[in-house]
Amino acid sequence: MVSPHSDQAGLFESAPPAPEAGPNGARDSLPRRTREQAKGVQAVAPLPGLIALAGALPPRLHLGTSSWNFPGWNGLVWDGDYAEGRLSKDGLTAYARHPLLRSVSLDRVFYRPLTASQYARYATQVPADFRFVVKAPALVTDAWVRAEDGRGMEPNPAFLSHELAWREFVEPALQGLGTRVGALVFQISPLPRSLLADLPAVIERIGALLAALPALQPQAPDGVLAVELRDAAFLSAEHAPLLARALRAARTHNAVTYCLGLHARMPPIEQQSPLLRALWPGPLVCRWNLHRQHGAHGYEAAKRSYEPFDQLVDPDPHTRAALARVIAGTTGGGHSAYVTINNKAEGSAPRSVVALAEAVQRLSPTAQQG
């Protein structure tokens, strides 16, 4: 068992190659001469303490980061200095060899849908117990058709179209990722004033979209549909009950939930938790995107502050502890939890994952007894 007071920085120091095991024991093996070795991207060898920490976590917990193409993770995830382009193309297998990284968020799909063959290429690079969190294309989840600079030009006629969502997102993801589908996340972009003025109608459309999608099983037995929001008005006393009701009603043949979006555009985790309780029992999907101190439009400021993303520059132990409690409650009830963390949350997503894993482990019954 890893000590609750262990120094997480030490977990990343180089060590002799250890047996490859995941949180639930042995993971399915990868070939000795793996794809990342053949192409030059090699995984860092973790200390046994990191493997032990992974083994102490709840079996249904999948932690990960937002993408994997960061050269600054040398010594944390990579055993070498690699260019961003090479990591984007060939780094996923090395990423998936990290004992704690059992998920990743495919955010690139938001900007352009992927084909089934593109998803399949990702699926072949990770073990069978790995689960992807995939962000739906903006062509379905953005009420605006936008210019290249992000400015809304005109209303999007395909906004919340379940036919388009199935054809351009869910179906190819199922075909390509199969059993490795974790959460398919519909992040609803900030709404124009005209739609904010009639949120009950928007909530009804969100529920209708989710209810109309075919069953993810049997292709993705662990698959979850989730809705992430970027307008706090959805969580008001007037609208949150309507949203909870719509999401529960959509659970006709799929697991459906609210994605806990830890972002400065949304209230703190404690103010989002009542919606999760209203949807209990069920899975947890969380995307920890941005430290609140940077504000709603602070991605670039956070990037400048945190690059090369190798240190926890702005630790947020309060959010981490609250999230760990939600994870422990969810997995303790026998439900899956998919949690991905952005570098902009605290400064270094891999280090945030370790810190969160330690917080979750401290809440386990075994740790408390010890």
Asked if 303 and 197 sit in the same domain, the reply is no
| CA 61/CA 67 separation, integer angstroms | 18
Q: What is the pTM of this model?
A: 0.88
Q: What is the pLDDT of residue 364?
A: 79
Asked if 230 and 316 sit in the same domain, the reply is no
Percentage, residues of the chain above pLDDT 90: 82
Average pLDDT over residues 70-81: 97
Beta-carbon count within 10 A of 85 CB = 11
Tokens of 274: 């009542």
Asked if 9 and 84 sit in the same domain, the reply is yes
Helix, strand, or coil here: 44? Answer: coil
Task: Determine which of 43-47, 160-164, 362-366 has the lowest per-residue pLDDT on average.
Answer: 362-366
Task: Kindly indicate the confidence band of residue 100, based on its pLDDT and cuts at 50, 70 and 90.
Answer: very high
Tell me how far apart the terminal alpha carbons of the chain are, to the nearest angstrom.
9
Domain end position, chosen among 267, 302, 322: 267
Domain count, the chain: 2
Q: What is the pLDDT of residue 152?
A: 65
Task: Determine which of 33-37, 51-55, 87-91, 184-188 has the lowest per-residue pLDDT on average.
Answer: 33-37
User: Rounded to a whole number, what is the largest CA-CA distance in the chain?
Assistant: 60
Asked if 171 and 243 sit in the same domain, the reply is yes
Q: Is 118 part of any domain? A: no
Q: Supply the range of the domain harboring residue 97.
A: 1-101+290-370
Count of residues making up the chain: 370
Asked whether residue 218 carries a pLDDT value surpassing 60, the answer given is yes
DSSP state at residue 96: H
Q: Is 188 part of any domain? A: yes
- If you average pLDDT over every residue of the chain, what do you get? 89
pLDDT tens-digit map of 43-58:
999 878 999 999 999 9
Average pLDDT over residues 120-143: 97
Q: Is 277 part of any domain? A: no
- Which of the pair, 155 or 19, is modelled with greater confidence? 155
